[in-house]
Amino acid sequence: MASIKDVAAAAGVSVATVSRVLNAHPSVSADARARVLAAVEALEYRPNAVARSLRTDQTHTLGLVISDVLNPYFTELARAVEEEARALGYSVIIGNADERPDLQDHHVRNLLDRRIDGLLVSPTDGGSPLMLDAVRAGTPMVFVDRWIPGVDVPVVRSDGSAAVRDLVAHLCRLGHRRLAIIAGPAATTTGSERVEAFRAALAEHGIPLPDAYIGQGDFQAASGRRVTEGFLDLPEPPEVVFAADNLMALGALDAVRARGLRVPEDLALAAFDDIPWFVHTDPPVTAIAQPTGELGRAAVRALVDRIEGRTPASVTLAARLVVRRSCGEAGRPAVPAPMALEEPAAQSPSPVQRSTSVQRSAS
Amino acid sequence: MASIKDVAAAAGVSVATVSRVLNAHPSVSADARARVLAAVEALEYRPNAVARSLRTDQTHTLGLVISDVLNPYFTELARAVEEEARALGYSVIIGNADERPDLQDHHVRNLLDRRIDGLLVSPTDGGSPLMLDAVRAGTPMVFVDRWIPGVDVPVVRSDGSAAVRDLVAHLCRLGHRRLAIIAGPAATTTGSERVEAFRAALAEHGIPLPDAYIGQGDFQAASGRRVTEGFLDLPEPPEVVFAADNLMALGALDAVRARGLRVPEDLALAAFDDIPWFVHTDPPVTAIAQPTGELGRAAVRALVDRIEGRTPASVTLAARLVVRRSCGEAGRPAVPAPMALEEPAAQSPSPVQRSTSVQRSAS
DNA sequence: AAGACGCATGGAATCGATTACATCCGTGAC
DNA sequence: GTCACGGATGTAATCGATTCCATGCGTCTT
């Protein structure tokens, strides 16, 4: 593969001049520039990004460490991240932590070794020493979706508490009083926050959230199934299960079916995270939709700001309730303003309308 | 960030000795080794992968260019690829081509600039000059899922023709005679092959495949919907639609629902590519399941073989029909051996059993 | 006409590793 | 006692770029 030396030789100039042409330095004669460009063309020369990175100490690469690629929510996030990064001249290396702190550390270490310019993380846990060290060492970092409390890193996330309140109101209106939740790992912010938002919303309606109605899941489908089976075995099973992510909702659906029961007649179901497939399940699932793409893009912008010397603020976007049929038919009149009622086959392939008005707040 | 020089200084040895310790070169005294390791520990030194790559001309990185990350089939493939690569000491950089040749080229170029050790590609088209040049220049490459005819690159794929035959037999047994297909882009091998397999299987039953029953899709949900609407508008609409991938099947499902029709009563549906969600749709979708994870792993092994100087052969694994309810209930007795009848909620989160006997062939 | 200035250019240092080669030293063979 | 050999180590070249600095030359000022 041709190097800058070959180009210089072919063009009859020094490597310095070739480099100047390539980097659009003004001090190059038109003649030299033309000869260099001709040589570049002839040799099909492409600068070696590895060498360039060594010299400039910039890789123009972002690392993205997510908790689970197989989760459609994170897939969509990753896609948005890559798009925005590409638009800003960066590439992205994705690390899939599979909800495992050890794998997360593996990827963080690997990415740091590769001298990525910045790191986008959706932490699986409360923060490994490695990651804390990286922050302390000044690695540009931004948390997305989940974060680690007490660490001074901008967070780009969505706030679901209003949507959870809407959800609980919706459920109450349908007459449900025994509401349970399948929580995520307590070590993650999304794991604990969603439970608290749910509890607070229930309290507004004077409904308690007994411990028996809080199931401990791990954001994977199998745990959703296991927890739901536990709920169904209770002397007084809940009427509704709210899963803190889409995969656990899937597991809950499995559990209900495996017992020959029906959603929503025997057990109603709602989920955090909306995904295109929820329109097509039997029944379509009522869910809280995050502005996933916008989160990914905002996270990249914040990270690139940080890399390029500016000081980004945290971003919080609002999530939104999307009512479908998995909690029962809303026989009663209209649903209040913030909700969207949706015909199953109304839109495709991206059936969920995104909230157009988003709320931003610095933290 | 500490460099090898800092370590050398701290340990009181030369950088050469540090490098020897790090690379397990035998000619290092126990004493020197201990001092170096202590210094490494104290400084939290990590070798700079960029510098190392420049010198050794190896990045220990594979590039994976896939057609669409949002397609669960490719997501699963990507995950398997990353896992196997990690096991073999490589990292993976994923490029999402979004079924766009220009984006595919962008990623290939980017990956080559970064001097990845090898490239795994699922081409969106018949082969851009860039990719052909890369092959000619000797870049280790392996095609996965799709390939480019006439290019001398190992192919790791699955052969669906037997499964398509099983599917057609299944459909005939249910009494269907008017069968249509939503094809993928003709420029892709999977686009054209699946149509041909379908046509051949139909021929065995004496059923023609008229042009009106071949819809041109692009592997995206919207096209599946559009094509299905076209089918439904026909004076004599088909009784069954076979979508050449899972997203187009989703689009077809939308189209049917949007008209207030039902699957399978009004139109039966089958898909190529099985995904976990097909168990939960209404109705569960009959699909042809590829051994996706195994494909990804085999592809990585082939590529690493090639990188490390061995000469890998192509690999072809068999796909398998998974019967669910979207083509009608099999009121008739048992289905033949190669098919698996599956209870919707039987397994989760990975409801599709993988074929254990695979067939390999060199090409 | 001489000095100052600025543009175009090349030489060489540099980034952080690996590795060929030279050197030094101790041990064993004869 | 001398020589050969091999193990441990350091010096320096190298990978392919970028960039500082010096140089040469043309032009403008005074």
pLDDT at position A212 = 96
Residue A14 CB contacts under 8 Å (≥ 6 apart), including other chains = A8
Q: How far is CA A272 from CA A158, A164, A199, A353, in A?
A: 11, 9, 15, 16
Domain B56-157+294-316 = CATH 3.40.50.2300: yes
Q: What is the pLDDT of residues B101-159, one digit of tens each?
A: 999 999 999 999 999 999 999 999 888 999 999 999 999 999 999 999 999 999 999 99
**Do B4-47 and B159-290+318-341 agree at the fold level?**
no
pLDDT at position B363 = 37
pLDDT at position A330 = 57
Average pLDDT over residues A308-325: 95
pLDDT at position A1 = 86
pLDDT at residue B348 above 60? no
The C-alpha atoms of residue B235 and residue A249 are separated, in whole angstroms, by: 42
Give the pair of three-digit tokens for residue B9.
């200084």
What is the CATH number assigned to the segment(s) A4-47? 1.10.260.40
Q: What is the mean pLDDT of chain B?
A: 89
Average pLDDT over residues B265-275: 95
Give the other-Cβ count within 10 Å of B266's Cβ.
13
Nearest to B51 by CA among B88, B15, B95, B14: B15
- For residue A312, the 8-state DSSP code is P
Give the other-Cβ count within 10 Å of B24's Cβ.
8
Q: What is the pLDDT of residues A86-132, one digit of tens each?
A: 999 999 999 999 999 999 999 999 999 999 999 999 999 888 899 99
Strands (E), chain B: 61-66, 91-96, 118-121, 141-144, 155-159, 179-183, 214-216, 240-243, 268-272, 286-289, 315-318, 320-323, 340-341
Average pLDDT over residues B286-302: 97
Beta bridge partners, B317, equal B158
Nearest to A358 by CA among A272, A292, A279, A271: A292
Q: Which residue from B70, B106, B250 is facing A76, i.e. has the nearest CB?
A: B70
Cβ contact B44–A133 (<8 Å)? yes
Domain A159-291+319-341 = CATH 1.10.10.2520: no
pLDDT at position B55 = 97
pLDDT at position A103 = 96
pLDDT at position A333 = 36
Please tell me the number of Cα atoms within 13 Å of A292 on its side-chain side.
21
pLDDT at position A274 = 95
Q: Which residue is nearest to nucleotide C14 (CA to C1')?
A: A55
Q: How far is CA A94 from CA A359, B91, B94, in A?
A: 28, 10, 7
Q: What is the pLDDT of residues A243-257, one digit of tens each?
A: 999 999 999 998 998
Q: Is the CB atom of residue B31 positioned under 7 angstroms from any atom of strand D? A: yes
Give the pair of three-digit tokens for residue A108.
């963080």
The nucleotide minimizing the C1' distance to residue A54's CA is: C15
More confident residue, A353 or B67: B67
Q: What's the CA A352/C1' D21 distance, rounded, in angstroms? A: 60
The nucleotide minimizing the C1' distance to residue B16's CA is: D10
The nucleotide minimizing the C1' distance to residue A17's CA is: C9
pLDDT at residue A343 above 80? no
Q: Tell me if B89 sits within 8 A of B117, measured CB to CB.
A: no
Share of chain A above pLDDT 90, in %: 85
The helix (run of H) or strand (run of E) holding residue A219 is: none
Cβ contact B280–A276 (<8 Å)? no
pLDDT at position A283 = 87
The C-alpha atoms of residue B70 and residue B68 are separated, in whole angstroms, by: 5
Q: Which residue is nearest to nucleotide C19 (CA to C1')?
A: B16
Cis peptide before A264 (omega within 30 of 0): yes
Q: Which residue of A has its CA nearest to B45?
A: A113
Nearest to B241 by CA among B164, B327, B155: B327
pLDDT at position B280 = 84
Strands (E), chain A: 61-66, 91-96, 118-121, 141-144, 155-159, 179-183, 214-216, 240-243, 268-272, 286-289, 315-318, 320-323, 340-341
pLDDT at position B125 = 86
Q: What is the pLDDT of residues A3-55, one digit of tens each?
A: 999 999 999 999 999 999 999 999 999 999 999 999 999 999 999 999 999 99
Q: What is the DSSP string of A263-281?
A: TTTTSEEEEES--GGGGTB
Residue A49, classed as helix, strand or coil, is: helix
pLDDT at position B69 = 93
Ordered by start, the domain boundaries in chain B are 4-47, 56-157+294-316, 159-290+318-341
What are the backbone angles phi and psi of residue B129, rounded to the nearest 5°? Answer: -50, -40
pLDDT at residue A198 above 50? yes
What are the backbone angles phi and psi of residue A73, rounded to the nearest 5°? Answer: -60, -45
Cis peptide before A210 (omega within 30 of 0): no
Amino acid occupying residue B287: A
Cβ contact B48–A115 (<8 Å)? yes
Q: Tell me if A210 sits within 8 A of A239, measured CB to CB.
A: no
Domain made up of B159-290+318-341: CATH architecture: 3-Layer(aba) Sandwich (3.40)
The C-alpha atoms of residue A94 and residue B91 are separated, in whole angstroms, by: 10
Q: What's the CA A334/C1' C20 distance, rounded, in angstroms? A: 81
Strand A155-159 with B91-96, pairing: unpaired
pLDDT at position A178 = 95
Strand A286-289 with A320-323, pairing: antiparallel
CA distance A205 to chain B (A): 33
pLDDT at residue A361 above 80? no
Contacts B255 to A, Cβ<8 Å: 345
Contacts B112 to A, Cβ<8 Å: 46
Give the pair of three-digit tokens for residue A23.
């980097």
The C-alpha atoms of residue A321 and residue A5 are separated, in whole angstroms, by: 60
Average pLDDT over residues A198-215: 96
Q: How confident is the model at residue B330 (pLDDT cuts 50, 70, 90)?
A: low
Give the other-Cβ count within 10 Å of B50's Cβ.
21
What is the assigned CATH class of domain A57-157+294-316?
alpha beta
Q: How confident is the model at residue B248 (pLDDT cuts 50, 70, 90)?
A: very high
What are the backbone angles phi and psi of residue A18, rounded to the nearest 5°? Answer: -60, -45
The C-alpha atoms of residue B173 and residue B186 are separated, in whole angstroms, by: 30
- For residue B239, the 8-state DSSP code is S
Amino acid occupying residue A98: D
Q: What is the pLDDT of residues B183-197, one digit of tens each?
A: 999 889 999 999 999
Contacts B93 to A, Cβ<8 Å: 91, 93
Q: What is the mean pLDDT of chain A?
A: 89
CA distance B260 to chain A (A): 9
* A-interface mutation test, from B45, B263, B348, most A Cβ less than 10 A away: B348
Give the other-Cβ count within 10 Å of B296's Cβ.
26
Average pLDDT over residues A66-92: 96
pLDDT at position A275 = 92
Q: How confident is the model at residue A327 (pLDDT cuts 50, 70, 90)?
A: very high
